[in-house]
Amino acid sequence: MTLEEAPLSLANAPSRRLNMIEAINDALSIMMARDGDVVIMGEDVGYFGGVFRATAGLQKKFGKNRVFDTPINECGIIGAAVGMAAYGLRPVPEIQFADYIYPGYDQLVSEAARLRYRSAGEFIAPITVRSPFGGGIFGGQTHSQSPEALFTHVAGLKTVIPSTPHDAKGLLIAAIEDNDPVIFFEPKRIYNGPFDGYYDKPVSPWNTHPDSTVPEGYYSIPLGKARVVREGQAMTVLAYGTMVHVAGAVCAEKGVDAEVIDLRTLVPLDIETVSKSVEKTGRCLIVHEATRTSGFGAELSALVQERCFYHLEAPIERVTGFDTPYPHSLEWAYFPGPVRIGEAIDRLLGGV
């Protein structure tokens, strides 16, 4: 039963205040208890519980055969997961940082994404690859990248990026249940709470944030369904992950009546919700942390242009990371923040 199918029962269900790490751990625990085929694997995910502690306590609860450490070999981790999935398991491999996923890229693209097609449906690859991604922890070039566009380009892969603890739990459960491979990127900048566009300080206390209220027990959020964070008339803001909070905070600070949409899943994309909003507002701002050239924002811009051309009142704006290697000392200048987002909003609303 999905969240949309049972809103009343879930509204009345017991809930807890969780951060994103805790919500992810809860989702993993629930799915391992429900399905004996779910296994967790990766570097330090077992005894230690993961570098960010997302798998803490799961090995003790479910045993070393179902939650186990692997060598430092991302190609081997993904390759083993493909074989396990083909023979009936539902592996949830963790890649310690998204920056480390490239050695496993060939296994994801050439094997996992193609297995259903090349076997005419005889085999499937129900793999959920979890990985912290993005900046915000001063991790430098090798611990801060946002490579989501590399995966959205690959037919056969699904790409999910939550922005709240509530969504992280429901989307992760849906990803594990999905019969196709899913890339589940977790924005580590908001693992413990949303932050503003400049410094590492909370926008609001996470333990009082409405989206930190997470229902207990099982629920899922369908992949391919965006969330309208706030409704508005002046413009549409498309974002995902950390940038949902940053862009929303800028709109609120400037007093802009913007409709903010959290895409939640990039593939499959809820283009219907996006198109409906842009047709209503006539203006579109796209915000993401990844580099600009060939970023997912370019695909969004093309889709909006193709579907909403006659409704647009201004050119589509993109605010993104810069086309440079990730800068350690200038991290907060690299992020789309209040200044650059604010300037884009002013251009979109110029003359209104």
Give the side-chain half-sphere CA count within 13 A for 203.
Answer: 23
Cβ atoms of 273 and 265 within 8 Å: the answer is: no
Question: What's the full length of the chain, in residues?
Answer: 352
Report the distance separating Cα 311 and Cα 32, nearest Å: 47
pLDDT of residue 44: 97
User: What's the CA dihedral at 68, 73, 79, 81 to 10 degrees?
Assistant: 20
Checking if the pLDDT of 182 tops 70, the result is: yes
Q: Which of 143, 166, 209, 245 is catalytic?
A: 143
pLDDT over 80 at 183, yes or no: yes
**Residue 352 pLDDT level (bands cut at 50, 70, 90):** low
pLDDT digits (tens, 9 = 90+) for 130-181: 999 999 888 888 898 999 999 999 999 999 999 999 999 999 999 999 999 9
Residue 14 has pLDDT above 70, yes or no: yes
Q: 222, exposed or middle or buried, with CB in 10 Å at 0-12, 13-18, 19+?
A: middle
Indicate the angle between helix axes 20-34 and 165-177, nearest 10 degrees.
Answer: 30
Task: Provide the 10 A C-beta neighbour count for residue 210.
Answer: 8
Average pLDDT, stretch 2-17? 62
Work out the pLDDT band at 209, boundaries 50, 70, 90.
low
Q: What mean pLDDT value characterizes the chain?
A: 92
Q: Taking the mean position of all CA atoms in its chain, how far away is CA 312?
A: 28
Q: How far is CA 152 from the centre of its chain?
A: 12
> In the prediction, which pLDDT does 212 show?
79
Q: What value does the mean pLDDT take over residues 290-318?
A: 98
DSSP 109: I
Give the pLDDT mean for 267-290. 98
Residue 119: predicted pLDDT: 96
The proportion of the chain whose per-residue pLDDT surpasses 90, expressed as a percent, equals: 82
Residue 33: the pLDDT is: 98
Q: Which residue has the higher pLDDT, 198 or 257?
A: 257
Q: How many CA atoms lie within 13 A of 288 on its CB side?
A: 29
* Per-residue pLDDT band at 314 (split at 50, 70, 90): very high
- Which residue from 291, 292, 296, 232 is spatially nearest to 263, judged by alpha carbons? 296
Amino acid at 15: S
Query: From CA 13, how far away is CA 116, in angstroms rounded?
Result: 37
Catalytic residue list contains 143: yes
Distance, CA of 242 to CA of 4 (rounded, Å): 24
What domains are there in the chain, each with its CATH number? 7-215 (3.40.50.970), 227-348 (3.40.50.920)
Are 209 and 343 in contact by the 8 Å Cβ rule? The answer is no
Distance between CA atoms of 131 and 276, rounded to whole angstroms? 32
List pLDDT tens digits, range 105-142.
Answer: 999 999 999 999 999 999 999 999 999 999 988 888 88
Number of C-beta neighbours around residue 76 at 10 A:
14
pLDDT at 284 over 90: yes
- Encode pLDDT of 236-257 as tens digits: 999 999 999 999 999 999 999 9
Residue 85 is predicted with a pLDDT of 98
Does the pLDDT at position 271 exceed 60?
A: yes
Of residues 58 and 10, more confidently modeled: 58
